[in-house]
């Protein structure tokens, strides 16, 4: 055998031993594995931890995605909700329009009778949305002023029942 044409290989386990025949390599590997207390498997290459960002199951997530920069406020309204029928009609009357994104109509719950409640994605111009929020905030501010000033109607009733406030001045 011509020594010049023989390819010299290095042990994959210890990285030191050089051999020229497969038999030499197998024999050395057997002893090298015992010496280094390893299994007969080749050492595994460490792969970098490349993984997509993990999103824990059950954590709050947006089903429809966010479109913050297009001048609209988006909201999902329940359609076919037996507890409060007519929500889509009322939303349209308030200025909302339906968004055709291919996802509207996702099941978002069930009624007491087992029928599905569908979520419908709708949007309203951000100016109108901010105006509505401002009006709501002003109404709440008036109530807060009355409560702190002791002039609030002490028998407030709403859809959740009655509230009675006892005001004492020291």
Specify the pLDDT at position 96.
93
With a cut of 80, say whether residue 62 has pLDDT above it. no
**Residues 15, 18, 22, 25: is their CA dihedral positive or negative?**
negative
- Name which residue leads in pLDDT, 140 or 5: 140
- Name which residue leads in pLDDT, 37 or 130: 130
* 128-154 average pLDDT score: 81
Q: Which of 12, 60, 55, 19 is nearest to 36 (CA)?
A: 12
Q: How far apart are CA 16 and CA 98, in angstroms?
A: 70
Q: Residue with structure tokens 């200025």?
A: 95
pTM, to two decimals: 0.47
Specify the pLDDT at position 92.
92
Confidence category of residue 37, pLDDT binned at 50, 70, 90? low
With a cut of 80, say whether residue 93 has pLDDT above it. yes
- Name which residue leads in pLDDT, 85 or 90: 90
- Name which residue leads in pLDDT, 22 or 49: 22
Q: pLDDT averaged over the chain?
A: 77
With a cut of 70, say whether residue 68 has pLDDT above it. no
CA atoms within 13 A on the CB side of 105: 4
């Amino acid at each position: 055998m011509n020594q010049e044409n023989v390819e010299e290989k290095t042990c994959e386990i210890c990285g030191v031993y050089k051999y020229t025949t497969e038999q030499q390599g197998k024999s050395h590997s057997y002893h090298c594995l015992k010496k280094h207390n390893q299994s007969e498997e080749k050492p595994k290459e460490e792969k970098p931890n490349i993984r997509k960002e993990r999103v824990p199951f059950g954590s709050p997530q947006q089903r429809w995605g966010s479109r913050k920069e297009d001048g609209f406020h988006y909201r999902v309204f329940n359609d076919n909700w037996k507890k409060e029928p007519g929500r889509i009609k009322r939303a349209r009357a308030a200025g909302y329009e339906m968004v055709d994104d291919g996802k509207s109509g996702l099941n978002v719950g069930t009624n007491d009778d087992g029928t599905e409640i569908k979520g419908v994605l709708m949007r309203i111009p951000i100016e109108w949305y901010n105006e509505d929020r401002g009006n709501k905030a002003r109404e709440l501010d008036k109530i807060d002023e009355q409560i702190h000033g002791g002039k609030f109607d002490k028998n407030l009733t709403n859809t959740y029942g009655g509230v009675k406030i006892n005001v004492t001045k020291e």
